[in-house]
Amino acid sequence: MKSDDTPIRCAACANITQASSPLQRHQASHNSKTYTLQQCPTCDLQFWWPLKADSSIYAAEGFEAYVDYHSGTRPFPRWAEPLFQSLPTSTGVALDIGCGDGAVLNRLAKAGFEVNGIDLDEKSVGVAKEKYRLRNVAAVTLEDYIATCRERGLHFDLITFFEVLEHQDNPSEFLAQVASLGKSGCLVAGSVPNRDRFLARLDRRFSDGDFPPHHFLWFSASSLKRLLEEKGFSDVSISFTGALGYADVVGKLRNIIVRKSQTWPAPMRALAPVVRWMVVLTAAIPWLGMRAAPSHLFFRCRIP
């Protein structure tokens, strides 16, 4: 890893930022490496250094979301709903990068699209094939898939990547690859976590999911818009999405208490049922907060 006095180039705009004053440090439990959080003074992106992806975290079920993916029980991602609220009237050939268990592709197929998907996680791709009977999905790198598309002369009318961009250790290259796959006028859509979401700090205390080597990039609405525009996409729009319903907030808070109460001393564990019922009364606070600062940023843009 670079020494603290070594300049670091921003992951998005390549502007040099000083490593001597990181916003935060994090030692990953997955690989025991230490990362530092940098903020670019030019484009406002926050990114973790060193930028080096570790794909083993997906197959190893490093986070509980992947357990849900692999069992085929994960609910439909609420941050993808804006896409289906305003789908193009004309369909065509669609590609979902990081397709996971195939939930988004399944809905696109029902809407009339010819669907294709790729993911690095073989187990999730297996679920997509079995649960949704999707045929054109594969566990393959984006680089290899681009080579296959070139051989076939295949380009897409719609490209989506939900909860993918924040995982990239080279977002500029990734977006250039996306652009190479689309037809002129291709609609591009997806989502990333909102770094300024309600109770983000608390969320990060309970889970390593927003840290490297899982997430490398932390976006605000302005830094996301700037990145997409600077990489040549047109008609860029950013909206907030992903707010939980009241019942979902209650369930999420109860699950956290159940998980954490397992480490409490015996006298405190006896109070866990009472605490879980108190959650019902206090859940209105986070419910309102999530509407003021939702969990995700949804983006739409086009390839010129």
- pLDDT band, very low/low/confident/very high, at 290 (cuts 50, 70, 90): low
Q: How many domains does the chain have?
A: 3
The pLDDT tens digits for 215-226 are 999 999 999 999
Q: Which residues contact 286 (CB under 8 A, 6 or more apart)?
A: 198, 199, 249, 253
CA distance 220 to 222: 5
Amino acid at the residue 29:
S
Q: For residue 7, what are its two tokens?
A: 């300049």
* pLDDT (0 to 100) of residue 3: 46
Tell me which of 211 and 207 has the higher pLDDT.
Answer: 211
Does a structural domain hold residue 1? no
- pLDDT band, very low/low/confident/very high, at 2 (cuts 50, 70, 90): very low
CA-based angle 207:285:210, to the nearest 5? 20
Q: Dihedrals φ, ψ of 217, to 5°?
A: -120, 130
Mean of the pLDDT values across residues 24-47?
92
* pLDDT (0 to 100) of residue 37: 95
Same domain, 149 and 75: yes
Does a structural domain hold residue 94? yes
Does a structural domain hold residue 2? no
Does a structural domain hold residue 82? yes
Give Cα 112 distance to the centre of its chain.
Answer: 25
Does a structural domain hold residue 34? yes
Same domain, 39 and 101: no
* pLDDT (0 to 100) of residue 110: 97
Mean of the pLDDT values across residues 91-96?
97
* pLDDT (0 to 100) of residue 191: 98
| 234 bridge partner residues | 302
Same domain, 121 and 251: no
Same domain, 147 and 103: yes
Comparing 32-36, 205-209, 264-268, the range with the smallest average pLDDT is: 264-268
Predicted TM-score of the model (pTM): 0.83
Same domain, 84 and 128: yes
CA distance 63 to 265: 26
Same domain, 91 and 157: yes
Does a structural domain hold residue 122? yes
* pLDDT (0 to 100) of residue 64: 54
CA distance 46 to 8: 12
By three-state DSSP, how is residue 14 classified?
coil
* pLDDT (0 to 100) of residue 66: 63
Of the three residues 32, 49, 66, the one that is the final residue of a domain is 49
Q: For residue 149, what are its two tokens?
A: 């598309």
- pLDDT greater than 50 at residue 1: no
By three-state DSSP, how is residue 182 classified?
strand
* pLDDT (0 to 100) of residue 232: 97
Does a structural domain hold residue 178? yes
φ/ψ bin of 187: left (φ > 0), alpha (ψ from -120 to 50), beta (otherwise): beta
- pLDDT band, very low/low/confident/very high, at 276 (cuts 50, 70, 90): low
Same domain, 125 and 140: yes
Same domain, 281 and 194: no
* pLDDT (0 to 100) of residue 137: 98
- pLDDT greater than 80 at residue 128: yes
CA distance 298 to 288: 20
The pLDDT tens digits for 240-263 are 997 666 567 667 666 766 666 677
Amino acid at the residue 179:
A
* pLDDT (0 to 100) of residue 46: 96
Mean of the pLDDT values across residues 53-73?
66
Same domain, 138 and 184: yes
The pairing of strands 93-97 and 156-162 is parallel
Does a structural domain hold residue 152? yes
Percent of the chain with pLDDT over 90: 60
- pLDDT band, very low/low/confident/very high, at 63 (cuts 50, 70, 90): low
Same domain, 239 and 250: no
| 97 bridge partner residues | 118
- CATH number for position 141: 3.40.50.150
Which structural domain, as residue segments, surrounds residue 280? Answer: 246-290
Q: Which residues contact 44 (CB under 8 A, 6 or more apart)?
A: 220, 222, 223, 226
Percent of the chain with pLDDT over 70: 78
- pLDDT band, very low/low/confident/very high, at 69 (cuts 50, 70, 90): low
- pLDDT greater than 70 at residue 304: yes
Same domain, 274 and 168: no
* pLDDT (0 to 100) of residue 264: 67
* pLDDT (0 to 100) of residue 243: 64
Gap between the terminal Cα atoms of the chain: 38
Same domain, 133 and 238: yes
